[in-house]
Amino acid sequence: MDRPNPFFRNKWSKAASLPMMLIVWVVFVCGTIWTVLFSFTNIKILPLFTPQQWMDGFVGFANYTRLFKTDRWMSCPGITKILTEDWEFKCAGALPNMVTYAVFSIVISVSLGFLLAVMMDQKIRAEGVFRTIYLYPFALSFVVTGHVWAWIMSPEYGLQHSIRQLGWESFTFDWIADRQMVMYAIVIAGIWQGTGFVMALMLAGLRGIDEDIWKAAKVDGIPAWRTYLQIVLPMMKPVLVTTFVIVTSGAVRIYDLVVATTDGGPGISSDVPSRYIYQNFSANLGQSLAASTVLLVTMAIVLIPWIRMEFGKKSQA
Amino acid sequence: MANTTAFDQVPSGKKPTPFITWQRFVVYSVLGVCALFFLLPLYIMVITSLKSIQEIQGGNIFVPTMSPSFDAWEKAWNSACTGLYCEGIKVGFWNSVKITGPSTVVSIAVASVTGYSLANWPFKMSEFYFTVLLLGSFIPYVVMLYPLVIITRWMGIYSTLPAVVFVHTIFGLPILTLLFRNYFASLPQELFKAARVDGAGYWGIFFRVFVPMSVPIFTVAVILQITGIWNDFLFGVIYAGPTNYPMTVQLNNIVNSAMGGKAYNVDMAATILTGLVPLTIYFVSGKYFVRGIAAGAVKG
CATH of residue A241's domain is: 1.10.3720.10
Q: Say whether both B143 and B30 belong to one domain.
A: no
| Residue A271 DSSP label | -
Contacts of A9 in chain B (CB under 8 A): 123
Of A9, A242, A292, the CB nearest to B297: A242
Nearest CA in chain B to A243: B297
Is it the case that residue B258 has pLDDT exceeding 70? Answer: no
Question: Does residue B109 share a domain with residue B31?
Answer: no
The answer as to whether A158 is a domain residue is yes
Q: What is the rounded distance in angstroms from the CA atom of residue A166 to the CA atom of residue A23?
A: 57
pLDDT tens profile B2-15: 454 555 555 566 66
> Is B84 exposed, middle or buried (CB count within 10 Å of its CB: 0-12, 13-18, 19+)?
exposed
CATH code of B244's domain: 1.10.3720.10
Query: Is it the case that residue B299 has pLDDT exceeding 50?
Result: no
Are both B29 and B114 inside the same structural domain? no
Report the residue of A23, A160, A228, A254 to disrupt the B interface, i.e. the one with the largest count of B CBs within 10 Å: A23
Instruction: Name the pTM for this structure.
Output: 0.90
Cβ separation A20–B31 shorter than 8 A: no
Domain range for residue A249?
Answer: 94-280
User: Is residue B80 domain-resident?
Assistant: no
- B176 and B227 assigned to the same domain: yes
* Domain assignment of residue B144, yes or no: yes
Query: pLDDT tens for residues B267-287?
Result: 999 999 999 999 999 999 878
Q: Is residue B162 part of a domain?
A: yes
State whether B267 and B179 are in the same domain. yes
Same-domain pairing of B102 and B234: yes
What is the value of ipTM here, to two decimals?
Answer: 0.89
Pick A310 or A210 by higher pLDDT: A210
Residues B76-127: tens digit of each pLDDT? 999 888 877 888 899 999 999 999 999 999 999 999 999 999 999 998 889 9
Which among B62, B121, B232 has CB closest to A10? B121
B123 and B35: one domain?
no
Asked if pLDDT for residue A317 goes beyond 50, the answer is no
C-alpha span between A209 and A16 (Å, rounded): 39
- Domain that includes residue B41, residue range: 22-69
Residue A232 distance to chain B (closest CA, Å) = 18
Helix (H, G, I), strand (E, B) or coil at A58: strand
Domain count, chain B: 2
- DSSP class of residue A204 equals H
Question: In this structure, is residue A63 part of a structural domain?
Answer: no
Residue A66 forms part of a structural domain: no
What's the pLDDT at B181?
93
Of B31, B147, B249, the CB nearest to A130: B31
Closest Cβ opposite residue A299 in set B140, B248, B267: B140
Do B65 and B122 lie in one domain? The reply is no
Q: Are residues B138 and B62 in the same domain?
A: no
Mean pLDDT score, B199-206: 93
Identify the domain boundary among B69, B100, B128. Answer: B69
| For range B230-249, the mean pLDDT | 94
Q: What is the DSSP string of A174-185?
A: -GGG-TTTHHHH
Residues B161 and B41 in one domain: no
**Is B15 among the domain residues?**
no
Mutate to test the interface with A, among B21, B143, B232 (most CBs of A within 10 A): B143
Clarify whether residues B47 and B146 are in a common domain: no
Candidates A197, A138, A133; CA nearest to B231 is A138
CA angle at residue B239 from B234 to B244, to 5 degrees?
Answer: 95
In chain A, how many domains are there? 1
Same domain, yes or no: B205 and B173:
yes
